[in-house]
Amino acid sequence: MRFPYGSLGSIPSQGVLSFWHWWQKANRKKVKLFLSNYAMRKAFTKPYVFWLIGIFILYLLLNVALSGFYRTIPLITLYFKTVNWIKLGVSLILTLAIAFLVSLNAVYTYIKYKERKDCKRGATLAGASAIGGIILGVCPLCVVGVFPLILGLVGISFTFASLPFQGLEIQLIVVLLLLLSLNLLNKQKRNL
C-alpha cells in the first residue's frame, strides 16, 4: 500500500501525524482480524487464562531470580535521588510486556498445537525471544545478569549499560520479536 500524501510534509510534525493517520487506516482491519481470531480469544477463556497468569508470574520470578534484581531493589531505595527513573520505568514496563508476550505466545502455541496446526516457526521465534528476555534480566542496566555472567567466565567484561540506550534497545527488539512470533502463529496454515 502506497503512502497517499506524497512526501512526509514540509513540517515534521505534520508529516508524522499524517503518516500515523494513514498507518491507522491501513492496519485497522488487520488488528481487528488478529484480535477476532478464535484461537486468540480462546487464550483468554477460563482454563487458558490461568495458564497465562501462571506462566507470566513464573517467567517474572525466574527473571528476577536469574538477573539478581532482588539485590538491586535495596540499592534503588538507598540511592533513589540518583536513579534515572525514566530509564528504570521504561525497562520495567518492557520487562512486564516481555513476560506477558512470552506467556501469551506459550498459551497460543499450545492452542494451535491442539488444533493440529503447524506452529514450528512461531514457537521457535517465541522460544528464542523468551531466552533473550531471560538473558536481559529485569533491568539491563543492572550489572548482574546471565549474559554478563557467562561472558565473565570466559574473561570478557560486558554489561548492557555500555550500549547506546543501556540495553533498552535489546528489550524493544525482544518485544518486537515476540509480536512477530504471534503474527507468525496467526498466519500458519493448516497442516495437511
d(CA 177, CA 169): 12
Is the pLDDT assigned to residue 12 strictly greater than 80?
Answer: no
Q: For position 19, what pLDDT does the model report?
A: 57
182 membership: H or E segment, kind and range: helix 168-187
Nearest of 107, 158, 157, 161 to residue 130 by alpha carbon? 107
Determine the average pLDDT of the residues in 3-7.
47
| Secondary-structure breakdown of the chain: helix, strand, coil percentages, each rounded to the nearest 5 | 75, 0, 25
Q: Report the DSSP beta bridge partners of residue 190.
A: 117
State percent of the chain over pLDDT 70.
69
CA distance linking residue 161 with residue 148, whole number of Å: 11
User: So what's the pLDDT on residue 17?
Assistant: 54
* Residue 56: pLDDT band with limits 50, 70, 90: very high
Q: Which has the minimum average pLDDT: 40-44, 56-60, 117-121, 173-177?
A: 117-121
154 Cβ neighbours under 8 A, 6+ residues apart: none
pLDDT band at 192 (very low <50, low <70, confident <90, very high): very low
Determine the Cα–Cα distance for residues 99 and 55; give it in Å rounded to an integer: 8
Listed in sequence order, the residues at least 6 apart from 19 whose beta carbon sits closer than 8 Å to its beta carbon are 3, 5, 8
Three cell numbers, residue 125: 521465534
Q: Which one of 38-42, 49-53, 131-135, 164-168 scores highest in mean pLDDT?
A: 49-53
